[in-house]
């Protein structure tokens, strides 16, 4: 072996190799636990893809929840700048999730059928984190707590989220604090139900859009919310198209109507006045 070859095998100067008294990369990220969490229940090649996509999605959703809750806390203190950064990050995360459906769509119907029956009744419909995101975004339906009745801690957490303010509730409170007329019926309504469009809110947002230079922070808040909903709906749409591509119109493993259920979900609008005013301006 030449000296040049030996030099090529050397570690980069200063690279640490002894972690007996310090944190390592694998230790910090707990990679032993993380990378041992993929447990296929069949011998099908494509099941690993299916597991990794869904586990990665759950990790991204964990970050979405972290950012939305932090953005809500910032908005409650009129700290608009930090809130904008967090909401922008959520929209970027959604971009990653949208692209992940493209990876999953490389699995054909024949591939999926090699392990579909082994999944039992497990389904993304039972994702507690997805349900939390829906509740935080304002799509609140008490019936959606039912799949979590057997896990008391998860059920209690989701119930608290259902009963608490949504991101849009916090935004509307910010409108009120900053001098805009927002109906008390809106601010004091039963928050366990989906939000319904209100004329006072529509007028407030319309005034902001008519004179954005005079209300720049609220104007930017409105656009961040539109960006967020736009990304969320693209995510839902790509989910719908991927399911349609792989299982057609068959029922989902969780018992829902599959494509039909996902199509219905696309019809819900989180921030209706922000879309309505585009026609009215």
253 labelled binding-site residue: yes
112 labelled binding-site residue: yes
53 labelled binding-site residue: yes
**Residues in CB range of 270: below 8 A, 6 or more apart:** 137, 138, 139, 168, 195, 225, 229, 232
**DSSP designation for 254:** T
157 labelled binding-site residue: no
25 labelled binding-site residue: no
201 labelled binding-site residue: no
193 labelled binding-site residue: no
Give the residue numbers of the binding site for heme.
239
Binding residues: 50-54, 112, 116, 239, 253
- Please give the annotated binding residues for substrate, written as ranges: 50-54, 112, 116, 253
């Amino acid at each position: 072996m030449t000296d040049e070859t030996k030099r090529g095998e050397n570690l980069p100067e200063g690279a640490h190799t002894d972690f007996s008294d310090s944190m390592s990369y694998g230790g910090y990220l707990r990679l032993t636990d993380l990378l041992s969490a993929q447990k296929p229940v069949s011998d099908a090649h494509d099941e690993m893809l299916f597991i990794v996509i869904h586990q990665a999605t759950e990790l991204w959703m964990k970050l979405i929840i972290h950012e939305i809750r932090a953005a809500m806390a910032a908005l409650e203190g009129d700290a608009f700048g930090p809130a904008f950064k967090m909401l922008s990050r959520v929209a970027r995360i959604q971009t990653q999730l949208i692209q992940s459906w493209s990876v999953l769509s490389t699995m054909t119907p024949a591939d999926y059928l090699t392990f579909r029956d082994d999944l039992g009744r497990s389904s993304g419909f039972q994702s507690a984190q997805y349900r939390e995101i829906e509740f935080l975004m304002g799509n609140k339906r008490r019936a959606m707590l039912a799949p979590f009745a057997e896990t008391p801690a998860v059920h209690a957490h989701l119930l608290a989220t259902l009963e608490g303010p949504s991101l849009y509730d916090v935004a509307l409170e910010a409108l009120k604090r900053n001098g805009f007329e927002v109906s008390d019926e809106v601010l004091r309504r039963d928050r366990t139900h989906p939000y319904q469009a209100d004329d006072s809110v529509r007028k407030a947002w319309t005034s902001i859009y008519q004179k954005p230079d005079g209300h720049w922070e609220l104007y930017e808040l409105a656009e961040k919310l539109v960006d967020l909903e736009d990304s969320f709906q693209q995510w839902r749409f790509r989910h719908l198209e991927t399911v349609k591509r792989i299982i057609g119109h068959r029922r989902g493993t969780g018992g829902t109507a599959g494509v039909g259920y996902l199509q219905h979900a696309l019809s819900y609008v989180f921030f209706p006045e922000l879309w309505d005013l585009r026609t009215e301006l």
